[in-house]
Copies of this chain bind each other. A is one copy, B any other.
Amino acid sequence: MKLDYDIIIIGAGSAGLSALREIKKHTDNFVIINDGPWGTTCARVGCMPSKALIESANAFYRRHAFEAFGIIGTEKLSIDKKRVFERVRALRDHFVSGIIKDTESLGNRAVSARARLLGPNHVQIGDKKLHAKRIILAPGSRPIIPPEWQKLGKRLLTSDTLFDQETIPDRMAVIGMGPIGIEVAQALSRIGVQVYGFSRNPLIAGITDPLINQTITGLISREFPLFLGNKVEVVSNAENSAITIMADDNPIEVDGVFAALGRQPNVDDLGLDTLGIAVNDQGIPNVNPNTMQIEDLPIFLAGDANNHLPLLHEAADEGYIAGVNASANSFTCFQRRTPLAITFSDPNIVTVGASFQQLQNKSICVGQVSFENQGRARVAQLNKGMLRIYADSKNGKLLGSELCAPAGEHLAHLLALAISQSLTVWDLLQIPFYHPVLEEGLRTALRDLVSKLPPGMNRSDLSACPGFNTDIQGTE
């Protein structure tokens, strides 16, 4: 191993690999150091395996619509949890192997080791001290587990261990109803596990709009019990016995616990203390989100580890920004994308642009639609959910939206484009809304929004031709 590099990358996850792609354009004198298994959080234990589980679960759950559709024999269907998880692992292994190929070809420029900073330009691995002009830190994150839950042993699952299970206990508590908790709880419930959902936070899946939260908690409660808003206590007397979950004075007995309390940045043992800079109470230093630089040091902190936006597409952007800047003498300040968070539940749960909470002290108008009577949603037996969209009441500019709706993940991208282009409600109403589509539900919300804007701002969604002056023509 060499000891002197242009760039050292610590962490070969989505952020680190994204940085690597940029760095390789500029130098061969780099090393990427990874602790633990290679392959990204996303492919190994995150986005991809969870979606594989969800697709099986939703395909099976769809049988409840079959009678309405005229399909017979539904009661004969069952799902083989073992095969579901085998498929999850087969797909996971496929995606992971695609990612690992990228680093395998690097030879000794890819190193398996735990790395620790020794200062702004130095890294320790094993007994070696490496030097680099620039260092990119992308050590990722891990599920939060309260120390007192360790006593649950193998009865405690997290996203790190769930997808490797051969069997899932019959009764599971899912604790934490953020995006991961909701996705896993609903999917396990739909493949036949008796699920109980718990969260101290009364708002689920990152939603901040009370009406959307009310709608989605109502829908999910029809599938499995939700206990929201109370402290959750896990009581386990003996190993391998049932576990009692206390919340809301109502003891619930389960056989296993899935912890979905969020993720914590892997910065504890990274040596950030050697940089001589302040860190916050999570141990994270000041990072410029537009350059990924830590303070004014030649070090960048990208991806989940900076606890900014622990989402794949943001990690990839942060890796890109860190990679570009680490390779350059002068740093570029990059614009970040319109915020977007999707929970792949059914219906999908989405926050795009500014959240309801972020707009609380702004002068906004809100348009909304329920999907219960939306035409296409009814025809497809998918008529549930609600969408709310927020616009600046001064000018109708679209600011954000929260929703739980069929095809919400697709509506999310349409809204993200409108918001990222600073469009008004009338601009978005100018597109063709085909018939019959779920996007017509969005149009209903947009028209509702227009009706709530101050009088005088109401105008048609068809515009007059540019340069057109009305003129008296063709009368009798």
Q: How many copies does the complex hold?
A: 2
Query: How far is A91 from B339 in the complex, measured between Cα atoms in Å?
Result: 38
Closest CB-CB distance, A322 to chain B, in whole Å?
A: 12
> Which of A100-108, A209-217, A375-383, A444-452 interfaces with chain B?
A375-383
Are A55 and B434 in contact, with the CB atoms below 8 A?
Answer: no
Interface centre among A80, A317, A437 (most CB of B within 10 A): A437
> Which of A146-154, A223-231, A292-300 interfaces with chain B?
A292-300
The bracket for how many chain A residues form the interface is 35 or more
Asked whether A144 is an interface residue with its Cβ less than 8 Å from the other chain, the reply is no
Residue of B nearest to A295 (CB): B474
Are B59 and A69 in contact, with the CB atoms below 8 A?
Answer: yes
Query: How far is A339 from B432 in the complex, measured between Cα atoms in Å?
Result: 7
Query: How far is A432 from B468 in the complex, measured between Cα atoms in Å?
Result: 37
Residue of B nearest to A299 (CB): B474
Are A428 and B435 in contact, with the CB atoms below 8 A?
Answer: no
Are A462 and B335 in contact, with the CB atoms below 8 A?
Answer: yes
Asked whether A74 is an interface residue with its Cβ less than 8 Å from the other chain, the reply is yes
Asked, given contacts A62-B59, A71-B59, A463-B335, whether A432 binds B381 with beta carbons under 8 Å apart, the answer is no
Interface of A is mostly: mixed
Are A409 and B437 in contact, with the CB atoms below 8 A?
Answer: yes
Asked, given contacts A432-B340, A475-B298, whether A464 binds B72 with beta carbons under 8 Å apart, the answer is no
Are B70 and A73 in contact, with the CB atoms below 8 A?
Answer: no
Query: How far is A311 from B434 in the complex, measured between Cα atoms in Å?
Result: 8
Are A296 and B59 in contact, with the CB atoms below 8 A?
Answer: no
Closest CB-CB distance, A100 to chain B, in whole Å?
A: 16
Contacts of A420 in B (CB 8 A): 430-432
Other contacts beyond A59-B381, A332-B468, A334-B464: 4, CB < 8 A? A313-B433, A330-B472, A333-B464, A417-B418
A-B pairs, 8 with minimum CB distance: A410-B410, A70-B83, A76-B76, A70-B84, A312-B435, A330-B470, A340-B432, A56-B69
Interface set of A (CB-CB < 8 Å, partner B) = 42, 47-48, 51-52, 55-56, 59-60, 62, 65-66, 68-74, 76-84, 86-87, 91, 95, 120-121, 133, 290-291, 293, 295-298, 311-314, 317, 320-321, 324, 328-340, 342, 375-376, 378-381, 407, 409-414, 416-418, 420-421, 423, 427-428, 430-439, 460, 462-466, 468, 470-476
